[in-house]
Chains A and B, each alone.
Chain A
Amino acid sequence: MKATTDEPDQTIQQPSGERMVELYRIMVLSRYLDERVWLLNRQGKAAIAASAQGHEAAQVACVEATDPSKDHYLTYYRQFTAMIALNTEPEEMLRGFLAKADDPMSAARQFPLHGAHPRVDLFNFSNVIATQLPQAAGVALADKLRGLDAVTVVFFGDGASSQGDTHEAMNFAGIHKLPVVFFCENNRYAISVPLDKQMGIESIATRAASYGFPGVQVDGTDIVAVYEATSAAVKRARAGQGPTLIEASVERLLPHTTDDDHTRYRSAEDIAQMPERDPIRIVSAMLRRRNLLSESQDEAIHNSAKERVNVATDIVDAEPYPGVETMFDHTDVAPRGRN
């Protein structure tokens, strides 16, 4: 971990061994669900998917450092693992991907993983990149005005870092010392455009200095490092000390979406090195090294995740699609009428 402005907070505890295994279990479940969704896409059942494969450790460890009972989460389209970590059931997510009537996020109005979570304060209004960042500043402003100690975590990618909204949001959050954690999952590609065509600097985290708050770069495959960095950011935010920008370096193991082909723009060498940066492998090896996970336990985690996804797929596949009538719900428009 490299802190660009602040030193790491030494008072932050690592997650317990038991919690680390649980985080790994969530990562594996996310991976199988993610793979299943791509399969469902190839079967013509899921219209579109963006993968979190490669991002799992960063997302799960970030969420672990927060308090879902009071914190807010503004996500983007790749937040598979964060959503599972926030107690979203595989069935609920599959309902979104298959556009089923009971999709809890948007009742099949929006792309998968978009809309609002019915239980946790997690929402993702839009496909337009970086719009969630000013919104996150506003959510945090509302908490600050009421003296609440909730933290707002806003997820975005390296692509979003180029948007004007990102600058405006960080500027505003810095001025008002808002309790926001800006969590950037830097996978080095904005669809096909590599970092060196997105920015003239090495690290997105360094930008935090221009807004007056700390920026931290972490290895996004390291759940301990991400947890520690996020915990420090959350602690700062709750203490009224303002925002933190965390840049978690991750690998995007699959193309941008099911409609993309990354062999058109990633070199053979780049693609060949990807498995080395697979967080499932890295976290599994780390847990083994620390004697927190045996081979048979690891296998059981994989088998159980596979089975969980199979069960969820069967359930959701058999569920109905929404009827035409419900497309008018929550509007003033009479079905098939005009306002």
Chain B
Amino acid sequence: MAEQTVIESVRNTVQEEMRRDDSVIFLGEDIGARGGVFLASDGFVEEFGASRVIDTPLAESSICGVALGAAVNGMRPIAEIQFADFVWPAINQIVGEASKVRYGTYGVKNAPMTIRVPYGGGVRGGLYHSQSIEVLFAHTPGLSVVAPATPYDMKGLLASAIRSDDPVIVLEHKRTYRLVKGEVPSDEYTIPIGKAEIKRPGTDMTVVTYGLMLHYALQAAELAADSGIDVEVLDLRTLRPIDADSIAESVSRTGKVLIVQEDTPAVSISSEVSAIIGERCFFDLDGPITRLAPPEIPPMPFSPIQEAAFMPSSETIFQAITKLAEI
């Protein structure tokens, strides 16, 4: 057991999986000698060689298209998209192609590929280094989408993604990379895709969240505890398939729910979570389904003042908790 940051967990997990399985290859921009812009592949080209650690041209569609072709021909590629904001040129190869391989070939082909996508804001990234891009992928049948928020979950879910026989999008929040530290067992383990986890048990209300917001929600829950409000924090961890049972179980038990996300709210993960709660917890609710999310403007301003105003924080989450508790 050793304490690691999220980015160290990413690096160590990919390294372990590449050591375990020769069919795992890694493709992306600047992942060779540079070791990746976040150092997710630091030392990899030295250990595994340039044939398995492939510095690609600056062309996201072919990063994912090549990974897909290699995946259907016996490899387990990991494609790194340098920043989530740059994933759009590859959408066709991911959403249009990879997601439909197993279905469209009636199971003759499958695409065991992992697409790692550093996403999210709070890093002074402005409009093109801050985006939350999860909704399009989470909407797509045939894809799995995970958003591990702790070093422990990162190892377990990234390993599951790499070992999956179908495409998995791994969303890695950039702000958590060096901010969040935690214990990571050195032994091999996986966490099943599709399982949420209660990160803090409570009885008065449930906060449903994922990614960086998990950490802000946990801070807010501590503030609330000081005010006598016992908040349960449910970390979705996987956005597709979403763990509807865990959401319904928690919300039915506490009777109140606040959904917190960093993405803008229209047609988003919180919309889906709200629908699940509406369908499954209606008679157990003691208050309205509430959401805390940024305003509907393009995410997110470069100005530090506006960036801070855009993102939910532990303070704004605490305020929303307090307001909901009073209902």
Name A residues whose Cβ lies closer than 8 Å to a Cβ of B. 72, 105-107, 109-110, 114-118, 123, 125-126, 128, 131, 133-143, 145-146, 164-165, 168-169, 171-172, 175, 329-333, 339
A172 touches B72 (CB 8 A): no
Task: Report which of A126, A133, A135 forms a contact with B72, defined as CB distance below 8 A.
Answer: A135
Taking a contact as CB atoms under 8 Å apart, the answer to whether B105 and A134 are in contact is: no
* Min distance, Cβ A161 to any Cβ of chain B, angstroms: 16
B104→A142 contact, CB < 8 A: no
A128 to B94, CA, bound (A): 12
Residue in contact with A116 in the complex, picked from B75, B77, B105, B141, CB distance below 8 Å:
B105
Inter-subunit contact A131/B65 (CB<8 Å) = yes
Binary CB contact string for chain B from 54 to 96 against chain A (1 if under 8 A, 0 otherwise):
0011010110111111111111010000000000010011001
CB <8 Å contact, B66 and A106: no
Q: Does B157 count as interface, using CB distance less than 8 angstroms? A: no
Residue ID in chain A nearest B74 by CB atoms: A142
Which residues of chain B are within 8 angstroms of A139 by Cβ–Cβ distance? Answer: 69-70, 72-73
B228 at interface, CB cutoff 8 A: no
Judge whether B241 and A339 touch: CB under 8 Å. yes
- Please give the distance in Å from B117's CB to the nearest CB on chain A: 18
Separation of A172 and B69 alpha carbons in the complex (Å): 13
9 A-B pairs with least C-beta separation: A138-B69, A134-B65, A168-B62, A116-B105, A135-B69, A138-B66, A142-B73, A116-B108, A330-B107
* One of A72, A116, A134 near B61 (C-beta < 8 A): A134
Any A CB within 8 A of the CB of B103: yes
> How many residues of chain B have a CB within 8 Å of chain A?
39
Task: Point out the residues of chain A lying under 8 angstroms from B25, CB to CB.
Answer: 145
Q: Taking beta carbons and an 8 Å cutoff, which residues of B are in contact with A?
A: 25, 51-52, 56-57, 59, 61-62, 64-75, 77, 89, 92-93, 96-97, 100-109, 141-142, 241
Q: Is the CB of B65 within 8 A of A168?
A: yes
What secondary structure prevails in chain A residues at the interface with B? mixed
Structural contact, B62 and A137, CB atoms closer than 8 A: yes
Distance of A98 from chain B, by nearest CB (Å): 16
Q: Which of A128, A141, A146 contacts B69 (CB 8 A)?
A: A141
On whether the beta carbons of B72 and A136 are closer than 8 Å, the reply is: no
Excluding A126-B104, A140-B69, A171-B62, 10 further A-B contacts by CB distance (< 8 Å) are A109-B104, A123-B109, A135-B69, A138-B72, A138-B77, A146-B74, A165-B92, A169-B66, A172-B57, A330-B106
By a CB distance below 8 angstroms, the chain B residues around A168 are 57, 59, 61-62, 65
Q: Are B65 and A115 in contact (CB under 8 A)?
A: no
Q: Chain A residues with Cβ under 8 A from B59's Cβ?
A: 168, 171-172
